[in-house]
Amino acid sequence: MNNFKKSLRYICLLLISIVVFLSQLSIASSEIKADETVIIFPSTGYLDQKTNHWIIPIHGWIFELENSSIWQSSIIATLKNTLELTDDENSYFKQRVQQFLVDNERGKKIHLKINDISFQSNSSRENGHFYAEMKLENSGHYFKNPDVTIKAHDKDELRTFEGIAQLIQPKGISVISDIDDTIKLSNVRDKKALLHNTFLEKFQAISGMSNVYQAWKEQGAKFHYVSASPWQLYPALHTLLTEENFPLGDFHLKHLRLTDQTIFNLFTAPEDYKISIINEILARFPERQFILVGDSGEKDPEIYANIEGNHPDQVLHIFIRNVDNENNESERFKNAFSKTAKSKWTVFSKPEKLLTFEINQ
């Protein structure tokens, strides 16, 4: 019996040692190493009026820039052949394709901080993306200074990675905007032109759209950018929106791993993805009204009509940028908006037309 107790005690001590060892490994693996990069994407916090706390969803990406490999070389060769690129001198190609070929860091819990409050993300997924949710007690301070900074540091605290979360009040006007061919020239319907614009050219804003969004921002609007673009393009998209003076907003992009088979399908099948994301935004802000802005290049009219049909009180207006030389009387728009009041949707070619729309009606 004594031998049994001794054996049991030994097993318990061994198990405790294993748990401690694994926990130490977990802590070590959660440190951001010197060769790793963290992106904390812009987010929006919403007020839980039942608990009087701000809820801040946090989403980030941790990865290491990868050296050359057979897989990378294959993807690069396929892209270069498709794009008829004869050399590697195009700087945009180098920057953008690199984001698709990084070494995503899996199983890391990122140590984050808002003000003086520290917390930890969930373990990063296979694609390097990690998530967390922060709760802040509500106070008047956050209405006066609605932007909060989210920080992460590397192992030696030599580098700081930052993201911004906007705290959006329960009532007001928000704009949900598509990106490709709505505020950025992409030519989504022409796959070769799309790839050319995505990998070889400086991103170009649709002229006049930033002026419209800034005018709406001055009237109090907040912004959400929802697109079928992949997350790997976020750095370049963020640069475009910053340089062209678009308002700050959160991003909702698509997860994608680039393979030979997906090169021609970077932006496909946005319907289910966009509908679920937009429904989630509307659910977080049930007392706000929304302006939906998209284009006629793919399915935005049909997607937005679906959203309006299910949330007529929340959707204030739908704007569709015309990329096909159609008008409000075309069969496509008549069918798409057959159940939507004519006063609630507009097809436009010139962004200046939107400047006459007063969002505080």
Three-state SS for the chain is CHHHHHHHHHHHHHHHHHHHHHHHHHHHHCCCCCCEEEEECCEEEEEECCCCEEEEEEEEEEEECCCCCHHHHHHHHHHHHHHCCCCCCCHHHHHHHHHHCCEECCCCCCEEEECCEEEECCCCCCCCEEEEEEEEECCCHHHHCCEEEEEEECCCCCCEEEEEEEEECCCCEEEEECCECCCECCCCCCHHHHHHHHHCCCCCECCCHHHHHHHHHHCCCEEEEEEEEEHHHHHHHHHHHHHCCCCCCEEEEECCCCCCCCHHHCCCCCHHHHHHHHHHHHHHCCCCEEEEEEECCCCHHHHHHHHHHHCCCCEEEEEEECCCCCCCCCHHHHHHCCCCCHHHEEEECCHHHHHHCCCCC
What is the pLDDT tens value at each position of the chain, 361 positions in all? Answer: 555 455 555 555 555 454 444 444 444 457 888 889 999 999 999 999 899 999 999 999 999 987 666 777 777 887 888 788 876 668 898 888 889 889 999 999 999 998 888 899 999 999 999 999 999 888 765 555 678 899 998 877 788 999 999 999 999 999 999 999 999 999 988 888 888 899 999 999 999 999 999 999 999 999 999 998 999 999 999 999 999 999 999 999 998 876 645 555 666 666 778 999 999 999 999 999 999 999 998 899 999 999 999 999 999 999 999 998 777 778 899 999 999 999 999 999 999 999 998 887 5
Structure tokens at 276: 């679920």
Let me know how long the chain is: 361
Question: For the chain, what is the radius of gyration of the CA atoms?
Answer: 24
Q: Is there a contact between 152 and 208 (Cβ–Cβ < 8 Å)? A: no
Phi, psi at 334, each rounded to 5°: -60, -40
Closest by Cα among 245, 255, 340 to 292: 340
Q: Is there a contact between 293 and 176 (Cβ–Cβ < 8 Å)? A: yes
User: For the domain with range 173-356, which CATH number is right: 3.40.50.970, 3.40.50.1000, 3.40.50.300, 1.20.120.610?
Assistant: 3.40.50.1000
Ramachandran region of residue 132, left (φ > 0), alpha (ψ -120 to 50) or beta?
beta
How far is it, in rounded angstroms, from Cα 37 to Cα 45? 24
Q: How many CB atoms lie within 10 A of CB 261?
A: 8
Closest by Cα among 88, 129, 109 to 230: 129
Closest by Cα among 124, 107, 114 to 56: 114
Architecture of domain 36-64+104-168: Sandwich (2.60)
Residue 127: partners with Cβ closer than 8 Å, 6 or more residues away: 61, 104, 255, 257
**Every domain of the chain and the residues it spans:** 1-30, 36-64+104-168, 173-356
Closest by Cα among 131, 152, 123, 116 to 55: 131
Structure tokens at 150: 């989210």
Q: Is there a contact between 347 and 232 (Cβ–Cβ < 8 Å)? A: no
Q: Is there a contact between 223 and 199 (Cβ–Cβ < 8 Å)? A: no
Residue 78: partners with Cβ closer than 8 Å, 6 or more residues away: 260, 263
Structure tokens at 18: 């294993």
pLDDT at 55: 94
pLDDT at 192: 84
Q: Is there a contact between 75 and 258 (Cβ–Cβ < 8 Å)? A: yes
| pTM of the model as a whole | 0.87
pLDDT at 2: 56
Residue 276: partners with Cβ closer than 8 Å, 6 or more residues away: none
**Residue labelled with tokens 């984001």:** 99
